[in-house]
Amino acid sequence: MNNLKTKMISWTIPSCAVLAALIIGAIMLSALGANPIKGFGTMFASAFGNLDGLASTAVKSIPLLLVGIGICIAFRASVINIGGEGQMVMGALLATIMALAFPGLPAIIFIPLVLLVGLIGGAAWGAIPGALKAYFNVSEILSTIMLNIVAVQFMNFMLRGPLIDPGEIERGTRIPQTARLPEATDLPLLLEGARMHLGFLIAVLAAVAAWILLWRTSLGFRLRSVGLNPAAARYAGIPVKRSIIMALAISGAMAGLAGAILVFGSESHRMVTDGSSTGFTGSAGFNGIVVALFAGLHPLWSIPSALLFGGMLVGANALQRAVQVPSALIIALNGLIVVFVVSSEYFKRRVQTVQTDPKVQKTVSDSDKNQESDNLKD
Amino acid sequence: MSDLINTTIIIATVASGIRLATPFLLASLGESIGQRSGVLNLGVDGVMLLGAFAAYYTVLKTGNLFLGIMIGLILGALIGLFYAFITVNLQAQQGVSGIGIYLFGLGMSDLLFQKLVGTPRPIMPFRILHIPLLSDIPIIGEMFFDHSLIVYVAFLLVPLLSLIINRTTYGMNIRAIGENPEAADSLGVSVGGIRYSALIIGNMLAGLAGAALAIELGIFQHNLTNAMGFIAIALVYFGAWRPLGVMAGSLVFGVVAAIVLQCKTLGLIPRSASDLAAMAPAIITILALVVVANRFRQPTALTKPYVRGG
């Protein structure tokens, strides 16, 4: 009974936070001269109302979900990975190089190969701040931000220089993009007549794998222990430094995979830059944090969470067409959701403190004690 | 003859380096005040964007630069107030909530720009303020005393903030609650009150940095700052939380950027190589972080919300 109540509270509070942000969004819509009900209605209908919309929503949710899974793992190990943007870029870049280097491989080998390379690229880019934190005591928050900047400039260099489409040089247009990647690397479509591709399936499987990793393997146990209490974990013989590097590497691997899927699942089948990281990632490296927080840092709950936020991105474009409100509104709203969800933790903690307060504990009945041992297993 | 050209180029590069350093300096001075009080604000870039748009729009509509600067400052103060509420009262996780502020600023400034302005229209930039006598000194005068008012203000803030942080009771309180809030609280220092004030001042400087950038460039566009605010945060670590160190970091950053820009215009380096050069500041910062993390201690209470008796 009490457990159910705690569960309900832990879901109601972040939902209220999102609702509060949406109400502010509605106020903003009316301030911009659009009918908020019509606006949100258009968004919802275009994102979830038909097969095309659903497919776009699923595709938009892939990078959000993958980055979000990585964030779940990192944050549970108390590692704040803000480097999703850079890890996506590096994963995508490495996978693109691989695809350009070995044309002619059959799809059945080529697709797993390039995705794996993307994963490794992201993992390596994530392991750097991990090692800097573990061995040099450098805050991962800062090093990941700096590595984002390095990755973007490296991408600009590669796409304007060594990797540029030879056709762009011949025509003299010099758009910073690669040539069309080998067709064998195109991610196959899952549904007849809709744009949803293999990437979505991979992302969902990754979420399941992350759940198994966190709660059914000793590595997951070690990561969570380090996150809950590093000192205690150290006394228990858990290699804390290695665990920190591991958490960031896995988190980066998910982002790198997201970057690779973004390239091979794109409609142009090229890697393109507009000079910024958001131009390539669509801010998924940051928005993935929103997805994970809203899912309570749970990989499986991240699936509906990613679909919701992916739907918001699809809806944002419809919003722009229907009521002439720039889709930047959604980025602003995502920001508010982050702030509100993080702030709402305070109320969640307060509810929990009341329940574990010694004065309150005296009245705890036997059934609640059983409940507690259940919680420990969780 | 060629010596003369070289001197001119060097003077121009240093002068433009100082100009480019100004928004970094303002933003990282602001960030350092907040961090000294124990609060990390990762939203600087968002605050800068909002400050930049607010100032740009005000100047576009009124033509009054002073008013634009004031609006940037006020907006910064309001965000500071909000950020203080969520980090002090609601004890929100600082790293992540700052990213929320950044996303909000990124989206909101773009939204307002598209809705209220649409196509980029230039505004009147700052007037150059020649300092009498000093600007007449050859070479040095042109490098250091031929700038707009905001540049002088930013650099004068360095000794001023040094003085406030190291020599006044208020500054001591800021440092105390950044190091040991429990002890400060037991002596009757209001931890929450000081953090509120530090965050409001800090975000005002971030808003000012954005305003200065927009007016200096005379334009606003989507993502005008392009991660400058994040670099400003790194400069705080680079400068080991001291105003003088922050200034040194900003100047290195500004001058390196100016040299890269100068080389590009002179055609000394190709476009693609300048992308690689743009990586240098971030890499230098990471190396600096390695050194700073082991030589200088960050404020002990940084990122830790203060709970009385907790």
CA distance B234 to chain A (A): 7
CA distance A183 to chain B (A): 28
B284 contacts chain A (CB < 8 A): no
Residues with Cβ < 8 Å from B287, sequence gap 6 or more? Answer: none
pLDDT at B265 exceeding the cut of 50: yes
Q: What gap in Å lies between CA A220 and CA B235, rounded to an integer?
A: 35
Q: What gap in Å lies between CA B195 and CA B116, rounded to an integer?
A: 35
pLDDT at B84 exceeding the cut of 80: yes
Of residues A64, A82, A58, the one with CA closest to residue A302: A64
B294 contacts chain A (CB < 8 A): yes
A139-171, pLDDT tens digit by residue?
898 899 889 999 999 999 999 888 999 888 888
DSSP secondary structure code for residue A272 in this structure: B
Per the DSSP assignment, residues forming a β-bridge with A177 are: A272
Q: What is the model's pLDDT at position B3?
A: 60
Percent above pLDDT 70 for chain A = 93
Nearest Cβ partner for A160 among B102, B106, B272: B272
Q: Which CATH architecture has domain A10-349?
A: Orthogonal Bundle (1.10)
pLDDT at B2 exceeding the cut of 60: no
Q: What is the model's pLDDT at position A202?
A: 97
Q: What is the model's pLDDT at position B272?
A: 66
Domain boundaries in chain B?
A: 2-295
What pLDDT band is residue A39 in, cutting at 50, 70 and 90?
Answer: confident
Q: What gap in Å lies between CA B22 and CA B32, rounded to an integer?
A: 15
Per-position DSSP letters for A84-153, written without gaps between them: HHHHHHHHHHHHHHHHHHSTT--HHHHHHHHHHHHHHHHHHHHHHHHHHHHHH---HHHHHHHHHHHHHH
pLDDT at A367 exceeding the cut of 60: no
Contacts of B291 in chain A (CB under 8 A): none
pLDDT (mean) for B22-37: 96
Q: What is the model's pLDDT at position A375?
A: 38
CB contact under 8 A, A161 and B272: yes
The verdict on ipTM greater than 0.90 is no
Percent above pLDDT 90 for chain A = 57
**Which of A193-197, A226-230, B82-86, B151-155 has the lowest average pLDDT?**
A193-197
- Vertex A355: Cα angle to A349 and A357 (nearest 5): 95
Q: Which CATH architecture has domain B2-295?
A: Orthogonal Bundle (1.10)
A270 SS3 class: coil
CB contact under 8 A, A342 and B289: no
A177 SS3 class: strand
B62-81, pLDDT tens digit by residue?
999 999 999 999 999 999 99
**Per-chain mean pLDDT for chain B:** 89
Count how many Cα atoms sit within 13 Å of the Cα of residue B109 in the half-sphere of its side chain.
31
A62-76, pLDDT tens digit by residue?
999 999 999 999 999
What pLDDT band is residue B271 in, cutting at 50, 70 and 90?
Answer: low
Q: What is the model's pLDDT at position B49?
A: 97
Q: What is the model's pLDDT at position A365?
A: 40
B96 contacts chain A (CB < 8 A): yes
